[in-house]
Amino acid sequence: MTSRRLAPVVTVLAAVAMLATATWLWSQLPTKMQSWAPITVTGTLGERIEGRNLAVTVHDVQVAREAVFTNDGVPVRMTSDGNWLVVALSYEPLLSAESPTFVLTADGKRFESPLSGFTPNAPPGLTERNVVAFEVPALPEHAELLVYNKTADRYGNAMPAPLDSAIVVPLPVPREVRSVVNLEEAAGT
């Protein structure tokens, strides 16, 4: 008699255990955006690095206390309590019009560039050469540039373009800190 009364309890406990296991397994699956994340392609200074929808060549790296440039003919001088790490590079979207994003990782800290001379929604096949400048608090021992095409999710938040590539370039950081770097001259180096 007791085994007949326990049968429904055992069945319910088995169902709950199976449901809990299925829920846990479902939570372990990657989301669509995780499985569609950009594939990283690594290269070196001076090398043309091609991903699926972008190509990047890093030409030069400079460090200075002050960055100068002109904005509509008006000279602009930007000083820093730390340093400006200036990267001269070429960027080319390969398949569709894209907007690049540049991120610097320096000694484990992540920096986004407030100064980029690259055109948003650049047409494919058009190579642009310009600079990206990052303000860093101190001269980094190790630095790495990440370049990817950005898009927006359904809520308008910026994110890396899925099914694309991200370019990673370890940067040789010069030990000599210049007093001033002209961004327009650096772009043409």
Domain ranges of the chain: 1-30, 38-187
pLDDT of residue 115: 66
The answer, yes or no, to whether residue 34 has pLDDT greater than 70, is no
* Sequential DSSP letters for 6-55: HHHHHHHHHHHHHHHHHHHHHHHSPPHHHHTPPEEEE--TT-EEE-SSEE
Average pLDDT over residues 27-45: 76
Is the CATH number 3.40.1030.10 carried by domain 38-187? no
The answer, yes or no, to whether residue 189 has pLDDT greater than 80, is no
What whole-number percentage of the chain has pLDDT above 90?
Answer: 55
Average pLDDT over residues 72-95: 93
- Convert the pLDDT of each residue in 86-145 to its tens digit: 999 999 999 888 889 999 999 999 998 866 778 888 889 889 999 999 999 999 999 999
Determine contact, residues 144/44, Cβ cutoff 8 Å: no
Predicted structure pTM score: 0.76
Confidence of residue 8 (pLDDT cuts 50, 70, 90): confident
pLDDT of residue 162: 65
pLDDT of residue 3: 66
pLDDT of residue 36: 64
Which residues make beta-bridge pairs with 100? 149
Nearest-angstrom CA–CA distance, 115 and 78:
10
